[in-house]
């Protein structure tokens, strides 16, 4: 399995092999592995907003 994440000029690729750990291309020695495909510094979503707009209903939730 391979995972590629691109955001602006940031490119990150990770590969999962038979030991079910993720490795990037710099882990040539096999000593380093990742439990998740992205580095911990990657931002995965926007900040939490308790009065968010539901994209399907168009209503603010929670009311």
| Residue pLDDT, tens place only, 4-57 | 777 778 777 767 777 666 666 665 434 454 555 555 565 666 677 788 888 888
Cα–Cα distance between 52 and 63 in angstroms, integer?
10
pTM score: 0.33
Residue 45 placed within a domain: no
Looking at the structure of the chain, the number of domains it has is 1
Residue 29 falls within a domain, yes or no?
yes
In a domain, 44, yes or no: no
The domain of 16 spans 1-38
- Give the chain as a 3 state SS string: CEEEEEECCEEEEEEECCCCCEECCCCCCCCCCECCCCCCCCCCCCCCCCCEECCCCCCEECC
Query: Residue 7: what pLDDT?
Result: 75
């Amino acid at each position: 399995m391979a995972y590629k994440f691109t955001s602006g000029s940031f490119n990150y690729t990770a590969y999962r092999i038979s030991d079910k750990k993720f490795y990037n291309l710099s882990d040539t020695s096999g000593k380093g592995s990742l439990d998740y495909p992205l580095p911990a510094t990657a931002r995965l979503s926007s900040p939490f907003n308790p009065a968010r707009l539901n994209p399907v209903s168009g209503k603010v939730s929670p009311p």
